[in-house]
Amino acid sequence: MYVYQDYDQRLLEERVAQYRDQTRRYLAGQLSEDEFLALRLQNGLYIQRYAPMMRISVPYGMLNTTQVRKLASITRDYDKGFCHVSTRQNIQLNWPEVADTPDILAELASVQMHAIQTSGNCIRNITTDEYAGVNPREIEDPRPWCEVIRQWATFNPEFAYLPRKFKIAVNAVPDADPALIGVHDIGVQIVHDHNGETGFQVWAGGGLGRTPMTGEVIGEFVAWPDLLAYLEAILRVYNKYGNRDNKYKARIKILVKALGADKFRELAEAEFAELKGGAMTLTREEVARIKACFVDPDYRTDVDTAALRNALDQHRAFNRWYHTNTRAHKKDGYRSVTLTLKKTGRIPGDITDEQLEAVADLADRYAFSEVRTTHQQNMVLADVAEDELYDLWRQLDALGFATPNLGLITDIVSCPGGDLCALANAKSVPIAEGIQRQFDDLDFVHDLGPLDVNISGCMNACGHHHIGHIGILGVDKKGKEFYQITLGGRGDRQSRIGEKMGPSFESHEVTGVIGKIIRVYLDNRLENEPFISTYERIGMDPFKEVVYG
Amino acid sequence: MAKVIVNGEIVENTWRRLTSEELEQQDVPAEGAVIVPLAYWLAHRDALLERAAPVGVCLEPGEEPADLAADLPALPLVAVNFPAFKDGRGYSYARELRTRYGFEGEVRAVGDVLQDQLFYMHRVGFNAFEVRADRDIEEALNGLRPFSVTYQGDVHDERPIYRRQSA
């Protein structure tokens, strides 16, 4: 993980002092609601339906166990004993008091954490593949580049009042998009030139929300020293020319679309030409300093793989979990383990204070004291030795984190929805729960194979419904909650926006409709064909006929 | 007379800013320093340059600093208006004036100018701030220095922190 220098820490402490003063002036009536709004948002504080919501930054999803324990105690002391993993890999508190928020930030700062720019019209948390650094398919570790970008974006004075929020993701896997760069304001694809030097293919103009679209390649190959200059060029064009009259047309995707990729590229390249070679040029020394924070842990070389094979032969439930919730690791003898936070009846991604502490204990014992959050609202222990998997599984099972459903129909991604969020048009959690209850037979769930179900309670698309194989969007029709269903979205090997099926459904109809969709799939699938491939082969019509017929 | 922050000090505001509405009703007064809109400047440049008292130009969001580039050597002041503090276009304009065109005169933030934005404004090149009239300008002065640490370079020092540290 990135290790703070004295100046990183000083910056956080100064931020806490600044925010404490802003909160004092707000509570004393010296700052208007609107003025405080912009300030508190850039510190992660929303005012929600019942209480404020505070979004804590987890840069590219990385946490150490000291931080996890701090989150547990904050959750216990300032909230109702649970928090929520968001689809931006951040952690959300749902019930803090406004007056307590400076203290919460001070607690976070004591463990090198903060809520800087987790909301508001600024550059948000940088995200990447949750298996970054251990994924055998990546061409290099993307996290140092995420950190380079994080520092440039943090309190960047020119880009704090953008037309709209701005999200950047970095991907280092060729031919797959685990970081969803295709649907980010800027997506950075790490590539290597023929000499093996690192460079970046830079995408811009992707995004979900009201007008979902995938981005365009703006920079075909940006040499690594120029990364920040290139990003700054794109941001400057956006800051100057992005739409500010209508918040629904304010994201960079609308600007890229309106100008066309060629014109946008021309403007960005003109800015870049001025910045290139200047003081923003990255140095080998600085990149090396940051890379040194992301070296491999002390992997064991004496892992007893025979023990794993025995356990797999003897325990069917362990075997199923192993094949579903763990995945290949770059290091022989190791696996990455995903803890699914998708207990039926709970908000997907919710975790309690005690569970956080238990996860921290397990990470200390089995995973080099490191925990990751994922954009599918789960947690990852990235480095677990194969001969310790069985022990870990038994403990995870006791905690309820070993449901073997990763990537299956019941591993639903969902925003908190209308139960908590003031923006939502409709509830999402009861819909998720209905689907989880309908598909409660694990054998059947496994037979269905990989299936991404994503639910958003409104157009803002926090549940990433556009990229679900089955996407569910809550909409409001004359004060009643309806749900619109999309099929064929992808956020797996590539990012693709799903297609609307047709008229929306009332809440009590949704699980029945999902059942019919699954039936069409089962009737049409070829051997070993996953849902998304069947959909892409047979198209929308057979599904529509059965659902609306 | 109203106060303004210039180079970190609170001083009397000696400039009068004229809006395009005002300039439809009246001519530029013969006396005193004035700030006029970009369009007015472009239309009346020669006459304005003959004035004995100084003339500055105000950019609105949506206007291009490039349209003023050739005239910058003749201008002592460029103002950038923030009709609402959340409209951040002016940050890029100030930066452009300083780094692209090398403007060394006064760059003044006017309009919805508030304490909590001053630090960022200063970093992108503003050196003068007409704090909104209903706010305490003394208190606003605190907004210039909430942080001793900055990651990025800015118009005052283009080096990012790691280049400053190793220097």
Q: How far apart, in whole angstroms, are the C-alpha atoms of residue A52 and residue A91?
A: 14
Q: Which amino acid is at A216?
A: E
Residues A261 and A392 in one domain: no
**Residue in A with minimal Cα distance to B157:** A279
Residue A321, by phi and psi: left (phi above 0), alpha (psi -120 to 50) or beta? alpha
Q: Do A160 and B124 touch (CB under 8 A)?
A: no
The larger pLDDT score, comparing residue A435 to residue A423, is at A435
pLDDT at A520: 97
pLDDT of amino acid A347: 84
Please determine, for residue A354, whether its predicted confidence score (pLDDT) is greater than 90.
Answer: yes
Q: What are the structure tokens assigned to A49, written together?
A: 């339906």
Confidence of residue A50 (pLDDT cuts 50, 70, 90): low
CATH number of the domain bearing residue B46? 3.20.20.70
Res. A424 pLDDT band, cuts 50 70 90 = confident
Residue A38: domain span: 6-58+88-109
- Quick one: average pLDDT of A93-106? 92
Is pLDDT at A420 greater than 90 in this prediction? no
For residue A210, the model assigns a pLDDT of: 85
Q: A135: closest CA among A175, A87, A182? A: A175
Residues B25-39 pLDDT 10s: 999 999 999 999 999
Strands B55-59 and B77-82: parallel
Q: Is B82 helix (H, G, I), strand (E, B) or coil?
A: strand
- Please report the sign of the dihedral spanned by the C-alpha atoms of residue A137, residue A142, residue A143, residue A146: negative
Domain count along chain A: 4
Whether residue A78 lies inside any domain: the answer is: no
In this prediction, the answer to ipTM > 0.95 reads yes
Q: Cα–Cα distance between B75 and B77 in angstroms, integer?
A: 6
Average pLDDT estimate for B83-100: 97
A396 close to A335: Cβ distance less than 8 angstroms: no
Inform me whether the C-beta atom of residue B73 falls under 8 Å from chain A C-beta atoms. no
Q: Which of A114, A152, A156 would you mutate first to test chain B, the one with the most B CBs within 10 A?
A: A156
Among B85, B148, B160, beta carbon nearest to A279: B160
Contact of A436 with A410, CB cutoff 8 Å = yes
Q: How many residues does chain A have?
A: 549
Distance CA A349, CA A415 (A): 9
The DSSP line for A94-143 is SS--GGGHHHHHHHHHTTT---TTSSSSSB---EE-TTTTT-TT-SS-SH
Q: Which of residues 77-106 of B touch A (CB under 8 A)?
A: 85-89, 91-93, 95, 100
**CA distances, A518 to each of A78, A263, A324, A505, A541 (Å):** 43, 44, 20, 17, 14
> Do A525 and A446 fall into the same domain?
yes
Contact yes or no for B103/B132 (Cβ under 8 A)? no
pLDDT in tens, A100-136: 999 999 999 999 999 999 999 999 999 999 999 999 9
Contacts of A155 in chain B (CB under 8 A): 120, 147, 150-151
Residue in chain B nearest A240 by alpha carbon = B89
Question: Residue A76: inside a domain, yes or no?
Answer: no
Q: How confident is the model at residue A94 (pLDDT cuts 50, 70, 90)?
A: confident
Q: Residue B152: which of A22, A35, A156 has the nearest Cβ?
A: A156
Chain A positions touching B148 (Cβ under 8 A) are 10, 14
Q: Are residues A319 and A367 in the same domain?
A: yes
Q: Check whether B52 has a pLDDT greater than 80.
A: yes
Residue A117 lies in a domain: no
Q: Are residues A417 and A364 in the same domain?
A: no
> Is the confidence at residue B133, as pLDDT, over 70?
yes
Chain A residues in contact with B92 by the CB 8 A cut-off are 158, 236, 239-240
Chain-centre distance for alpha carbon A489 = 16
Tally the domains of chain B.
1
Given A7, A17, A157, which is nearest B120 (Cβ)? A157
CB distance A38–B86 less than 8 Å? yes
Give whole-number Cα distances, A207 to A108, A165, B115, in Å.
Answer: 30, 11, 33
Structural domain harbouring B139: 3-166
* pLDDT interval class at A48 (50, 70, 90): low
The pLDDT tens digits of the residues spanning A133-150 come to 999 999 999 999 999 999
